[in-house]
Structure 1
């Protein structure tokens, strides 16, 4: 049985963690999911590291929604840097799944994007852990998560 970590935030305006868990459970049966929730994206790195080191998670998804202000973009960068550092410290993948609040103007479209990106990255996690040959077939295809693919050159 594989142990997967899901870490998300209370600041996000949609429950991306629930969407990711739903996608995982619909597609994989031999799975234990441990979920942790933190206030904001800068809290994600340590929570993800703890999931790896204290809960033996083999891979973690870090989900969050940076706001639309310049300060929020800086915080997202800091969180992203922290997630990279946690990956290097633990030699374990952490899939960063951020949806910036200004990616969509319409709140309904933002919700759709948040759910789809969470689900798409859950599929990426499945491929990384259970079906790595599928990832090889996708190399160079311009695949995006949550939005239309851009396609190969």
Structure 2
């Protein structure tokens, strides 16, 4: 049985890991073809190590790494550093880690922010599943301006 890892943080104001778990549990093959392994860490700078451990120690075929940078400039800088750590973990393991960051600066309305967060996490969880079991579904969407969590921008006309 395959394993899909989900790692989230205590720092986030929304339980992002549960959103990912719930979305994955709705998909074909859950419990038979794949299972979800979840870990929670204090903050987003801890995500890279946790994701690497999910891959190397727990045998996860792919990981969804969820984080929520705060609104301060320092938080944005730390998010960039955390992102680089996640990229390094991908290279070191040769395994995809889908970074799902929802920046608190993206939306000031709490209800809209919660919707954005839910949609982005659920969309990336579905992408993780598709990367393992339905890569042709991703290919169909290539160049379509699809956004995770927000409105799609659509493709540009090529002349």
Please give the TM-score of this superposition, normalised by the length of structure 1. Answer: 0.98
Counterpart in 1 of 2:121?
A: 118
> How many angstroms apart in 2 are the aligned matches of 1:115 and 1:80?
20
Question: Could you report, residue by residue, the CA deviation over 1:32-57 in whole angstroms, capped at 9, with x for unpaired residues?
Answer: 11100001000100010011111010
After superposition, residues 26-65 of structure 1 pair within 5 angstroms as 26-28=26-28, 29=30, 30-65=33-68
- Structure 1 residues 89-100: aligned runs within 5 Å: 89-100=92-103
Displacement of 1:8 in angstroms is 0.2
Counterpart Cα distance in 2 of 1:38 and 1:145: 23
Structure 2 Cα separation of the partners of residues 136 and 117 of structure 1: 19
What does 1:58-97 correspond to in 2, within 5 Å?
A: 58-97=61-100
Deviation per CA, 1:64-115: give whole Å up to 9, x if none: 1000101000100000000000000000000000000010001111111111
Indicate the RMSD between aligned Cα atoms, in angstroms.
Answer: 0.7
Counterparts of 1:22 and 1:141, CA distance in 2: 26
Listed as ranges, the gaps of 5+ residues in structure 1 are none
Moved over 6 A (4+): none
What SS does the aligned partner of 1:27 have? coil
CA distance in structure 1 between the aligned counterparts of 2:119 and 2:108, rounded to whole angstroms: 16
Unpaired segments ≥5 residues, structure 2: none
Task: Tell me the alpha carbon deviations over residues 96-149 of structure 1, each in whole angstroms, 9 at most, x when there is no partner.
Answer: 000000100011111111111000001111110100011111010000000010
The structure in which a higher percent of residues are helix is 1
